[in-house]
Structure formats: C-alpha cells, structure tokens
Amino acid sequence: MLSRGGWVLCALAGVSVARLGPEAAGASSDLRGESFPAALLGLGCLVQLALSSWVLLTVGLSLLHAPPPLVRAVAPRLLRRALFAGTAGALALAPVQAERGIAPSGPPQHDVAGLRLPDRPVAAVPRAPTAPAVVVVRPGDTLWAIAARSLPAGATNAEIAHACARWHAANRDVIGADPHLIFPTQRLNPPLGKDPT
C-alpha cells in the first residue's frame, strides 16, 4: 500500500504526464532546433516526462502486487529519492509548456532569444549607403552647432569651422550671405562628397 507521500507523488506524476505528454513531439523537435533555450526546455520536458512515466509504472506495479524483486529492480532506492526532486520540476515545467499550447502557430516563441546552434555569431549584413538627411533648423540652432553635430565626437574647433564653411557653401541659397543668420524651420542639406582635406 502507498503512503500519503506516495499518493502525492503519484498525483504529481499524473499531472506531469497529462501536461507534458501531448507536447512530447514538440519538445523532441525543439532538441533539433536552432534555439538553445528551446532545446534546453525540450530536454527538461522530456526528462520530466520520462521520470513521471516511471513513477506511474512503479506505482502501478506496486498496486498490482507485483513481486517485490521486480519492484526493486524497476525502482531502486536512489531513484525513488531522486523522484521527489524530479517531480517537483513538473510544477515548474508544465505551466511553461502549457503556455506554448496557446501560442500562435509557427516556430516556438520564448522570452529569451538564444544563439543559433552551434553557438557562433551571424555575420552582419552590409547596408546600402543612404543619402544624408535634410536638417531642419530648430530654435536656438547655429550653423556651428549643426556642423558640430555632423562630425564625430571629439572634433577640433578647426574641423568644426571647416565643416561650418562647407555647410554654408552647400546651403547659400537658403541661408544667404551671412552664415551666422539662420532661422528656425529652414531646411539645410548636408554638404555632398568627402571633405577635401
């Protein structure tokens, strides 16, 4: 006869098999997938399913009054103690797998995006060059500030002055003769081509 703890363990194993059993095919396909977190979750689910099935087999043999040597062969003492840790995992893994059942069809979605298997970075795709964006003058802007924003951080005053002259030359028809007099909402085109220096 089973103890109270044995019945609790049997009930947990039954819940685990009921929750994880229908997802066994998906868990095994996750093992062959490219996502490491999905493969790890699939492995954990399959191990939990195997442990829970083993518990039900052992309890079934016990309830059918199988010969004690057969029960001891199927359920050695060390494995019986390990069951308590494994079956408790069903309470953590089953809700995760159950959540997958309501996800839209397609590849499984996980909160953690893992590396592709084998773990190696994917090469960056080169981008096509884009045309520089038009700058709209904001209140308080100066041509100096706009030129400074177009340069890398740490540009010297001489580099900013040169860039300012290029911006003025590229937008003389909008700004006029005085590079110090620009107005909000004016649209300035960045200077084209590389700097001749």
Whether 122 is in a domain gets the answer no
Whether 195 is in a domain gets the answer no
Question: Do 85 and 23 fall into the same domain?
Answer: yes
For 128-142, what is each residue's pLDDT tens digit?
555 568 999 999 899
Question: Do 86 and 34 fall into the same domain?
Answer: yes
Question: Do 95 and 19 fall into the same domain?
Answer: yes
Whether 111 is in a domain gets the answer no
Question: Do 142 and 83 fall into the same domain?
Answer: no
Considering the entire predicted model, what is its pTM?
0.38
Boundary residue ending a domain (101, 124, 154): 101
Question: Do 94 and 149 fall into the same domain?
Answer: no
Whether 49 is in a domain gets the answer yes
Pairing, β 135-136 against β 187-188? antiparallel
- Residue 80's contacts (CB-CB under 8 Å, 6 or more residues apart) are 58
Question: Do 94 and 141 fall into the same domain?
Answer: no
Its domain, for residue 176, covers: 135-188
**Which of the given ranges, 52-61, 118-127, 163-172, has the highest pLDDT on average?**
163-172
Question: Do 17 and 91 fall into the same domain?
Answer: yes
Q: How many distinct structural domains can be found in the chain?
A: 2
Whether 119 is in a domain gets the answer no
Boundary residue ending a domain (49, 83, 101): 101
Higher pLDDT residue, 178 or 120? 178
Residue 103 above 90 pLDDT? no
Question: Do 10 and 97 fall into the same domain?
Answer: yes
For 145-174, what is each residue's pLDDT tens digit?
999 999 998 899 999 999 999 999 999 999
Whether 73 is in a domain gets the answer yes
Whether 196 is in a domain gets the answer no
Whether 194 is in a domain gets the answer no
Share of the chain above pLDDT 70, in %: 64
For 64-94, what is each residue's pLDDT tens digit?
777 777 766 766 666 656 655 665 555 555 5
Residue 113 above 60 pLDDT? no
Question: Do 91 and 174 fall into the same domain?
Answer: no
Q: In the prediction, which pLDDT does 197 show? A: 45
